[in-house]
Structure 1
Amino acid sequence: MKAYKFLILLIVAVFVSCSSVKVISYDELKPAQVSFPPQVRNIVVVNNMPPVPQARQGVVTIGDLDGDGKLSAESLASSLADTRYFRQVMICDSALYASDSSEVRYQLDMKTVNLLLQDLDADMLFSLDRVFIQTKRAELFYPDMPVAWPVLNVKMAPVLSLYVANKERPVQIITKTDSLQLDLNGLLNDNDIRQAVASAAASMLSRQLVPYWVSTERLYFDGGGVEMRDAGVYVRENDWKNALDIWQSLYDHSKSKKIKARTACNIALAYEMLGNLEDAQKWLDSAESSASEGSDEARVIQIYKVKLMERLKETPYLNMQMGRFGNKF
């Protein structure tokens, strides 16, 4: 999806190339799907997955497969610890199932949860209950290759339950489905699949649990005069204050609605990059009112409006989640 969005930006940039539209990339902090109270500082990740059979060398399962609980729990704990969002991330990767158990258990009982939380001095318990895996053989065809390249399409669905003390049921259950593709020639057995899935599932769950960084793109107008080109130099130097001053002066002195639409759009971007989303929205509204219907400026402004509205919608959640650090975004 990210590649698709970026392709749209590139197509628009080429389409309005006569207007000297440029693309910039920057890192943006996105909110998690789950918000935790500030008092949740210490967490423990536990392996609540049944044991898996020993992988046979040279055998790769095509069909349904269970993830490795120890690998998955360790990967999730490591991924969460790397974010430094919680004060302490602990792990209980010893399976809560007996090695010869045939029982099917998804939820932990309150006694077990309380005991683990007390023994590890944790505020919340993250129970990794399952990592479902489904594999399917496929082939990739490349123009310069005489034969097809064998790959394994892997669907994965981890299930994570969140517990606090003295509650009989999880306060929340998180599950998400995603996929990845593995080189079939590089796989020795099912352990290789489980290792790759453990890492991918941990990254996927981590984005549900804590704020995360993504690379995103924006369009801006760069040409049309000396002032616009000078401001573009400041943009490439990440000096948004000086770029803003030039665009503001050009907006104030220009009588052309086309120039006002371009500079107002750029001013909105500058305010966004400086962390002032309210002024960014005001200037984008001004840009929209100045742009002629169906014009290149209107197309660029509409693309930017979608992205800015999405960020404005997410900002309250992000501020709440980052409040434990005294940060606002």
Structure 2
Amino acid sequence: MTKYLKRSINIVFYALASLFLVSCATTQQLIIEIPQPAKQSIPERIQSMTLISRAVDDSYTNSEADSLQRTFYKHRFNYDTIINDFQAVDTTLKAMGNLLFETGRFDYVIPEKRFLKAKKNAFITREMPWNEVKNLCETFNTDALISIDHFKTRVETNYSKESGFNPLEVSFYSVAVAKMYVYYETLIRIYDPLEEKIIMRKLLQDTLFWEDYDSSVSELFNRFTPVKNALLEAGIAIALDFTDEIGPMWRQETRQFYAKGNASLRQAAPLARNGQWNTAVSIWKKILEEPGSKSVKARTEYNLALACELTGNIDEAIQWATKSYNTMFSVITYQYLETLKRRKNEIKNQKL
């Protein structure tokens, strides 16, 4: 069993040195990434997935790359056939798990026994019985099940000789041309054991295409993508397409923080730039415990608001920003308060 735990942060942030203001400026900038709703909404309670395939049957093989390539060469690289490749399905599962994990939204588990037998209705695997869904989710302690219930790949290759005229050299030339198409068709279902409901059915269909040419046939095929690799790339493309449907998207925004005002604000600035918020917060809170100007106090409260936002606490961020605004009016603080209120409404709407 392969198990991965998702990232715990909700906002990815990083500093861009090119965006820093000149050294005399009191503020510096951060670029942050804010998660946006996915194209296909998945209930918030579903945080972890078990990934399996029920498409693999006895027709699937795991052909060696060289053996598969020789088959196409025997047909002079003019061949059109369906290939049921075991490794292509496995690559899809593994790539899908990694990509879901990278969204920061989902944990996932890929069981060792991930290829399950299933009855088919014509060409499509029938829906999985709910007792089997529940058993798998309970066994691997996940909230839902993703199953590849149909997987088909067809490979079409073409080899030809083409000639032309080179007006610069006033001569004719001949080149070898190779083309390859991989057509894929996949049905993926997400099973929700709690509601006993299939919350997503996604049929993915597309074509990958390769083309290259060379005056030397051997040089051409030495660098041309092997058929086996093309099948595995199709699996990765499927995983990318599916993850784009359920994974959150990201929107970039700019935030400012105060880097100057007193020695402690200057001390905390590099910590904030590097995302060391806990250490920066402890310095900022010590500033508030000591007597100082309203300007320094307001800047410190503003920075604490930013730290709260970037660690996922919008309500507390609004509280600190309001304190800063009341301590000393600032256009920056006013604008930031409006931004926080907008973000709070966005988060509220995403949960509806």
Structure 1-normalised TM-score?
Answer: 0.52
Q: Summarize deviations over 1:100-132 as a string: whole Å, max 9, x none.
A: xxx9845x335xx339938x9535461343589
Asked if residue 243 in structure 1 is aligned to residue 288 in structure 2, the reply is no
The aligned residue for residue 315 of structure 2 is: 278
Asked if residue 161 in structure 1 is aligned to residue 152 in structure 2, the reply is no
The aligned residue for residue 235 of structure 2 is: 198
1:10-21 → structure 2 map (5 Å cutoff):
13-14=20-21, 18-21=25-28
Query: How far apart, in 1, do the equivalents of 2:206 and 2:321 lie?
Result: 35
Relative to 1, partners in 2 of residues 1:221 and 1:91: Cα closer, same or farther, differing over 3 Å? same
Q: What is the Cα deviation at residue 194 of structure 1?
A: 3.1
Of 118, 123, 148 in structure 2, the residue corresponding to residue 127 of structure 1 is: 148
Structure 1: gaps (5+ residues): 98-102, 134-151, 318-329
The aligned residue for residue 201 of structure 2 is: 173
Q: Summarize deviations over 1:78-118 as a string: whole Å, max 9, x none.
A: 35666593566342278988xxxxx9845x335xx339938
The answer as to whether partners of 1:79 and 1:202 remain within 8 angstroms in 2 is yes
The aligned residue for residue 114 of structure 2 is: 91
The percentage of aligned residue pairs carrying the same residue is: 14
Q: Summarize deviations over 1:42-61 as a string: whole Å, max 9, x none.
A: 55322379989x67469699
Relative to 1, partners in 2 of residues 1:243 and 1:130: Cα closer, same or farther, differing over 3 Å? farther
Query: How far apart, in 2, do the equivalents of 1:7 and 1:240 lie?
Result: 15
Q: What is the Cα deviation at residue 277 of structure 1?
A: 3.4
The aligned residue for residue 294 of structure 2 is: 255
Secondary structure at 1:173 match in 2: strand
Q: Summarize deviations over 1:151-173 as a string: whole Å, max 9, x none.
A: x9x999964223479x9994421
The answer as to whether partners of 2:318 and 2:337 remain within 8 angstroms in 1 is no
The aligned residue for residue 268 of structure 1 is: 305
- The structure where strand makes up a greater share of residues is 2
Of 220, 224, 231 in structure 1, the residue corresponding to residue 268 of structure 2 is: 231
Structure 2: gaps (5+ residues): 1-11, 62-67, 138-144, 155-179, 214-222
The answer as to whether partners of 2:309 and 2:317 remain within 8 angstroms in 1 is yes
Count residues in correspondence. 278
Q: What is the Cα deviation at residue 242 of structure 1?
A: 1.4
Asked if residue 114 in structure 1 is aligned to residue 114 in structure 2, the reply is no
Relative to 1, partners in 2 of residues 1:233 and 1:6: Cα closer, same or farther, differing over 3 Å? closer
Query: How far apart, in 2, do the equivalents of 1:132 and 1:310 lie?
Result: 44
Task: Give the letter for the 2:318 counterpart.
Answer: Q
Q: What is the Cα deviation at residue 198 of structure 1?
A: 1.7
Secondary structure at 1:47 match in 2: coil
Query: How far apart, in 2, do the equivalents of 1:181 and 1:249 lie?
Result: 65
Query: How far apart, in 1, do the equivalents of 2:345 and 2:186 lie?
Result: 27
Between 283-292 and 228-237, report the one with greater CA deviation: 283-292
Report the aligned-residue RMSD: 6.4
Task: Give the letter for the 1:78 counterpart.
Answer: K
The aligned residue for residue 322 of structure 1 is: none
Q: What is the Cα deviation at residue 307 of structure 1?
A: 9.2
Of 46, 57, 62 in structure 1, the residue corresponding to residue 54 of structure 2 is: 46
Of 42, 51, 62 in structure 2, the residue corresponding to residue 34 of structure 1 is: 42
Q: What is the Cα deviation at residue 233 of structure 1?
A: 4.6
Query: How far apart, in 1, do the equivalents of 2:321 and 2:87 lie?
Result: 48
| Structure exhibiting the larger radius of gyration computed from Cα positions | 2
